[in-house]
Amino acid sequence: MKIIKPKANDKFTITAVPGWPSFAFETDAAGQHTWNWTISWGSFKKSGSQTTPGNLWDAQSVVTNLGGSLTVMVSAAKQSASITVKIYGTNPSAADVTAYLTTKPGSDGFDKLVEHESNFRQFNASNEPVKSFDNGYGMCQLTSPAPSYEQVWNWKLNVDGGLALFASKRASAVAYLSQSGRTYTSDQLKYETVCRWNGGAYHEWDAKAGAWVRKTEILCDPATGNIGWNMTDPQNKGKTVAELHKRDAGTYSHRPSGAHWFYSGVCYADAVLG
């Protein structure tokens, strides 16, 4: 028994829509066939089984929204054969992503966040999902909660997952800014929400002015995306950005115990939104 098509290690490509192509499997045997399949990529894996009355089977329905290595073991009339093929992705354009976001409520500011996180890329140069050092996946760098296999390979599902998380950050931002009946602007809500994507509050209440203001004690390193200094720290007080950068830049790749810089949501929001 032989698998006539596809050939071992054939490559299939997901379109930018995204759309999954036909995966037509065919053997040279007759009669009922059982197709056991497993698809995997990294730590993600799914498997299943389907039966057909003849020697043809299209795997499209079982692998849609997934990618990586697809292994199929087929059996018929006490014979069997197996094959592995590869599935790769295609990045959408930035315009595709922003157009998709316009159809989603509560997405104000999220395009800038996605651009900052991944430059709208779901896949790397090898056409496999983008993965960061801290296990952030796809264009939204979904980390916690951990993304599903589908969110790793389907950029629209990745964006949907990011928007769900963004909505929770926005709800926290609204609760924070509206405390004690205080008012805020749409821009303040945008900055507060994006800040919370990276951690912490962006604003503090200025009782004298009767308004929300950006946290005054935080100075950011513009050479980074989210690193800053608390200027009330005696080790930082009175120093310029250039001086602080020169002192600390060598430790940015791995923050040591007792460092006088920190990862700041305020600096992240400033970098994302300008």
Q: How do residues 105-129 score in pLDDT, each as one tens digit? A: 988 889 999 999 999 999 999 999 9
**Per-residue pLDDT band at 136 (split at 50, 70, 90):** very high
Across 163-172, average pLDDT: 96
| Cis bond upstream, residue 222 (ω within 30) | no
Q: Residue 273 — φ and ψ, nearest 5°?
A: -100, -15
pLDDT value of position 186: 94
Chain mean pLDDT for the chain: 96
d(CA 70, CA 48): 11
Which residue ranges make up each domain of the chain?
A: 3-88, 94-122+173-273
Q: How do residues 64-119 score in pLDDT, each as one tens digit? A: 999 999 999 999 999 999 999 999 999 999 999 999 999 999 888 899 999 999 99
Across 252-262, average pLDDT: 95
**Per-residue pLDDT band at 150 (split at 50, 70, 90):** very high
d(CA 263, CA 143): 17
CATH of segment(s) 3-88 = 2.60.40
DSSP per position, the chain: --EEES-TT-EEE--SS------EEEES--S-EEEEEEEEETTEEEEEEEEESSSEEETHHHHTT--EEEEEEEEETTEEEEEEEEEE--PPPHHHHHHHHHTSTT-TTHHHHHHHHHTT-SB-TTSSB-B-TT--BTTTTB-SSPPPHHHHH-HHHHHHHHHHHHHHHHHHHHHHHTGGG----HHHHHHHHHHHHHSS-SEEEETTTTEEEE-TTEEE-TTSSSEEEETTSTTTTT--HHHHHHHHGGGTTSPPTT-S-EE-HHHHHHHHH-
Across 30-51, average pLDDT: 98
pLDDT at 259 over 90: yes
Rounded to the nearest 10 degrees, the angle between the axes of helix 110-118 and helix 186-198 is: 30
